[in-house]
């Protein structure tokens, strides 16, 4: 049986891996995707992580992964199906194998929320996207809409303005939620038209997206729509094992301890006021410290 299983290899999981290596723990990192990095893989530019004035999200993800590998972390490409705890250990059941460990750090991150409007699922991959950096190039010199008012919506609008003819930024209020520097860049960009106080009610088209209908009665002709209305955790595999808040985020303080002794949670999936790379990296360190405290307690 291992000391620790870390699930997820975004900034939180990779930071935990470096700290677990330094603590000489016997551990593995389980990642379901072929790449490490989590949400930052979809970020064009990161400019607020100390030491990196301007980094490509993808490159930063690789840099973090290289650091974790060089520190001695072992990675397993598998998807977790369930986690359970008995008196002495956790059982992490994956699609290909089951792993036993004394403690678990959950760092599985979040996924993008859906709008749940008519046409959204019908046009998935035919003009509806949740990732501007992945799909933006398909809309070169075309007209697109971005929905949302947070950091991601503004980042997406700015990225798309570089490749598209025009970008509508549709937001349900008249004030954006994004960091001020992103708002300034959006408002200074003459390819981006801000559409405030509007909700998308339907996505229309034939073989692909042709327009979006808004609740103010207008219809915007667009070739694509990028949905950036926030994130939600994926916690089904927990089967109610740990306490979550009303939105499904796993309840824990800065010490990353969940309602289950020995189960720690790190990164965006934890209840927290600010979801950033820096706070995810900090969680990774704190979660390993809490795992050490737990080992000391159960081995006394």
Within 145-184, the residues that bind ligand NAP by CB under 6 A are: 147-153, 155, 172-173, 177
Rounded CA-CA distance 39/188 in Å is 26
> Which residue stretch of 78-86, 92-100, 131-139, 271-279 sits at the interface with ligand NAP (rule: CB under 6 A)?
271-279
Contacts of 19 (CB under 8 A, 6+ apart): 284, 285, 288, 289
To the query of whether residue 131 is one of the catalytic residues in this protein, the response is yes
* Opening angle at CA 133, ends 37 and 57, nearest 5: 35
To the query of whether residue 164 is one of the catalytic residues in this protein, the response is no
Rounded CA-CA distance 238/250 in Å is 10
* Min separation Cβ 48 and ligand NAP, Å: 5
Q: CA gyration radius for the chain?
A: 21
Q: Which is nearer to ligand NAP, 220 or 231 (CB)?
A: 231
Within 65-124, the residues that bind ligand NAP by CB under 6 A are: 115
Interaction of residue 283 with ligand NAP, rule CB under 6 A: no
Contact 57, 36 (CB under 8 A): no
Q: Which is nearer to ligand NAP, 103 or 153 (CB)?
A: 153
Q: Which is nearer to ligand NAP, 149 or 284 (CB)?
A: 149
Q: Which is nearer to ligand NAP, 150 or 205 (CB)?
A: 150
Strand-pair partners of 103:
4
Within 16-75, the residues that bind ligand NAP by CB under 6 A are: 46, 48
* Min separation Cβ 60 and ligand NAP, Å: 10
Q: Which is nearer to ligand NAP, 174 or 255 (CB)?
A: 174
DSSP for 26-62, please give it. Answer: -EEEEESSSS--GGGGG-SEE--BTTBSSEEHHHHHH
Dihedral over Cα of 183, 234, 287, 20: its sign: negative
Tell me, residue by residue from 181 to 210, as one string, x for binding to ligand NAP by CB under 6 A and - for no binding: ------------------x-----------
**Of 93, 163, 276, 292, which lies in the binding site for ligand NAP, with binding defined by CB under 6 A?**
276
Interaction of residue 277 with ligand NAP, rule CB under 6 A: yes
Rounded CA-CA distance 176/153 in Å is 9
Contacts of 172 (CB under 8 A, 6+ apart): 149, 197, 198, 199
Q: Which of 26, 78, 94, 135 is catalytic?
A: 135
To the query of whether residue 135 is one of the catalytic residues in this protein, the response is yes
Contacts of 152 (CB under 8 A, 6+ apart): 112, 228, 230
Interacting residues with ligand NAP (CB under 6 A): 46, 48, 115, 147-153, 155, 172-173, 177, 199, 228-231, 275-277
Active site residues per annotation: 131, 134-135
């Amino acid at each position: 049986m291992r000391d620790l299983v870390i699930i997820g290899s975004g900034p939180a999981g990779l930071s935990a891996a470096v700290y677990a290596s330094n603590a000489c723990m016997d551990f593995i990192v389980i990642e379901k995707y072929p790449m490490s990095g989590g949400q930052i893989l979809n970020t064009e530019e990161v400019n607020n992580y100390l030491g990196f004035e301007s980094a490509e999200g993808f490159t930063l993800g690789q840099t973090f992964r290289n650091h974790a590998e060089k520190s001695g972390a072992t990675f397993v490409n598998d998807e977790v199906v369930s986690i359970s705890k008995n008196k002495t250990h956790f059982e992490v059941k994956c699609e290909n194998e089951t792993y036993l460990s004394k403690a678990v750090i959950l760092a599985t991150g979040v996924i993008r929320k859906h709008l749940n409007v008519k046409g959204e699922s019908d046009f998935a991959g035919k003009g509806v996207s949740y990732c501007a950096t992945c799909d933006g190039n398909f809309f070169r010199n075309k007209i697109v809409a971005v929905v949302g008012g947070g950091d991601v919506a503004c980042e997406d609008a700015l990225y798309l303005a570089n490749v598209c003819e025009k970008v509508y930024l549709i937001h349900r209020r008249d004030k954006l939620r994004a960091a001020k520097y992103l708002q300034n860049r959006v408002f200074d960009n003459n390819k981006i038209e801000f559409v405030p106080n509007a909700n998308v009610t339907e996505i229309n088209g034939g073989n692909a997206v042709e327009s979006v209908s808004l609740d103010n009665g207008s219809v915007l002709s667009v070739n694509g729509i990028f949905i950036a209305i926030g994130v939600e955790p994926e916690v089904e595999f927990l089967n109610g094992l740990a306490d979550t808040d009303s939105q499904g985020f796993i309840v824990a303080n800065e010490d990353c301890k969940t309602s289950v002794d020995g189960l720690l949670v790190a990164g965006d999936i934890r209840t927290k006021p600010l979801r950033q790379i820096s706070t995810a990296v900090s969680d990774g360190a704190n979660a390993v410290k809490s795992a050490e405290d737990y080992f000391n307690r159960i081995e006394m």
